[in-house]
Amino acid sequence: MKFAVAGATGKMGKMLIDTILRSSNAQLTGALEHPSCPLLGTDAGAFLGQQTNVLITSDLAKGLAGAEYLIDFTRPEGTLLHLEAAKRAGVKMIIGTTGFTAEQLQQLRGATDTIAIVFAPNMSVGVNATLKILQVAAQLLNQGYDIEIVEAHHRHKVDAPSGTAIKMGEVIAKAQGHSLADLAVYAREGHTGERKPGTIGFATIRGGDIVGDHTVIFAGEGERIEISHRSTSRQSYAEGALRAAAFLQNQPKGWFDMQDVLGLK
């Protein structure tokens, strides 16, 4: 499998490159960065002390030449630029970027008439197993339990709540026959009054180098159930992205998520 990586000099980009270089069935063919990146023109494996002969570039056509897949964990504006280039080149995409608006998501979906895309706010196999557990829990605990989602990430994360937290809320709401848009409470301040039954509350923590912690609380009378997932490394995201690419090998076009990749639907 031949990969180009967007955001090649970022923490996630480096983890993806490291994972690809260590994989026996993956090859790095492109490394993309923004035009003002000071590392343009350097070897994409230099941070590992390896020579890959793949130079970091801001030229999308050049970076995608020879690639079958583009892995993108950048920002919405960058991902949408990369999307147009991937469509032109016929390159499939694995997208872990978060913070898209509804209109931007529609733009991504529109591209699946041309290419195949796996889109997931979290590529971790463990997180996606947790989503399945939450679906079952939400069905069982659909009366008498207040639901709160607490997430924590590093100080550099720019969107809140996290895409994973929102996905958890969507899974729970759908399992109980509702839309998250009708139930979500994203902020509380001042005299809020009593908690409205059936709502799903979100709390956000930002600090330090926290990779990603998520806890869903089902609080009832006399008991509380907590379902948590904690990431201590970005390695699980990278491994999940390669697993997503393997799934796409037999998908010429279409829109998929990690639940499709893992056969959990």
Active site residue ranges: 153, 157
Which of 113, 55, 118, 111 minimizes the C-alpha distance to 86?
111
Distance, CA of 70 to CA of 30 (rounded, Å) = 9
3 and 68 in contact (C-beta within 8 Å)?
yes
219 and 148 in contact (C-beta within 8 Å)?
yes
Residue in this structure with the two tokens 């990146």, named with its chain if needed: 37
95 and 108 in contact (C-beta within 8 Å)?
yes
Q: 207 is written with which tokens?
A: 């600090």
Query: What length does the chain have?
Result: 265
